[in-house]
Amino acid sequence: MQQSEKGYGHIAKVGQDGKYTYEQYYPERKRVIVSQLHEGTHWKKFSAHAEVIVQETICNEFGLTKGKHTEGYAPEYDYLINNKKVEQKISLKQGLQIEFSTYDGRPSGINLTSADYHVYVTPCWSTKANKFVGKVRLYKTSDLLKVLGKFDNYDEDSRFVKVFSPTDRSPGSRVLSFEEEDLHPKTGILKGTLGSKNVDINLHMLEVSTIVKRGKRVGFDFNFPQWGTFKNYNWWLQKELKKLF
């Protein structure tokens, strides 16, 4: 499949007879603008749309089965993949953020979920692409709880704790926040959390394009996802996903 001479908005598809057919192409349908997930009057619709995009991308790329989505606000999980419960997080901040309570200390986020896995989409530098991309990463919820347990003596003076005040739409939150370098399996602050010195706490599944407007990253484009850096990793990734799902 390749871009046609008709230009942007159409894709040329070669049939078995060698002739071209043209299909309308709507790239905006696989684009997530992060601000739309939290702002404006249609944020619920955009959030549901983003969940469908990420779920379909993962399932299509790895031959997994799409399951149902939860409706409305559901702290337990967002959707099913191969009958496993998945919670989804999309952020323009690099690294890892784990919400553990509301602003006033009530349990939320990781302390309410029943999800088996968390999928995070965050910006990160890609050696393969030689630019910033959106990395789609899979975390075991049990591993995130181990991270929370290791830092359960957090206080507001800790560099890992971020406090977000309440708004008209949100009760506010308290979050453990780790930078990208904290995630490195050999040198990061989280090394050893899962019982081994050199264990990556996430599975790097896919890379997608970032959407940049006026020099600022605003979202992610899932139209043309890319796999890992080298073939051996891709083979290993498929093997690991089969174990998990």
Residue 52 CA to residue 42 CA, distance in Å, equals 16
- The single residue listed with the structure tokens 């990781």 is 110
Is 16 within a domain? no
Contacts of 232 (CB under 8 A, 6+ apart): none
The DSSP output letter for 179 is: -
In 24-140, alpha helices (H): 43-62
In a domain, 35, yes or no: yes
Cα–Cα distances in angstroms (integers) from residue 136 to residues 6, 162, 221, in the given order: 32, 23, 12
Output the pLDDT for position 16: 58
* E strand map for the chain: 2-3, 10-14, 20-24, 31-33, 66-69, 79-81, 84-90, 96-102, 117-126, 131-140, 161-164, 173-178, 203-213, 216-226
How far apart, in whole angstroms, are the C-alpha atoms of residue 142 and residue 118?
10
Spans in the chain with pLDDT lower than 50: 1-13, 22-23, 25
Question: Token digits for 23?
Answer: 């299909």
CA distances (Å), 185 to each of 62, 93, 127, 131, in order? 25, 20, 17, 22
Is 10 inside any structural domain? no
In a domain, 195, yes or no: yes
Domain assignment present for residue 1? The answer is no
Query: Domain for residue 169, yes or no?
Result: yes
- Asked if the structure places residue 34 within a domain, the reply is yes
pLDDT of residue 167: 83
Q: Mean pLDDT across the chain, nearest whole number?
A: 84
**What does the pLDDT read at residue 1?**
32
pLDDT in tens, 2-46: 333 333 344 444 555 655 554 454 556 799 999 999 888 888 889
pLDDT of residue 28: 64
Closest to 96 in 3D by CA, of 53, 58, 143, 39: 143
Q: Give me the pLDDT at residue 3, please.
A: 35
Q: Count the neighbouring beta carbons within 10 Å of the beta carbon of residue 176.
A: 22
Distance CA 42, CA 180 (A): 31
- The number of folded domains in the chain is 1
For residue 31, the enclosing domain spans 27-244
Residue 115 within any structural domain of the chain: yes
Query: What pTM did the predictor assign?
Result: 0.85
For residue 231, the number of C-alpha atoms closer than 13 Å in the C-beta half-sphere is 0
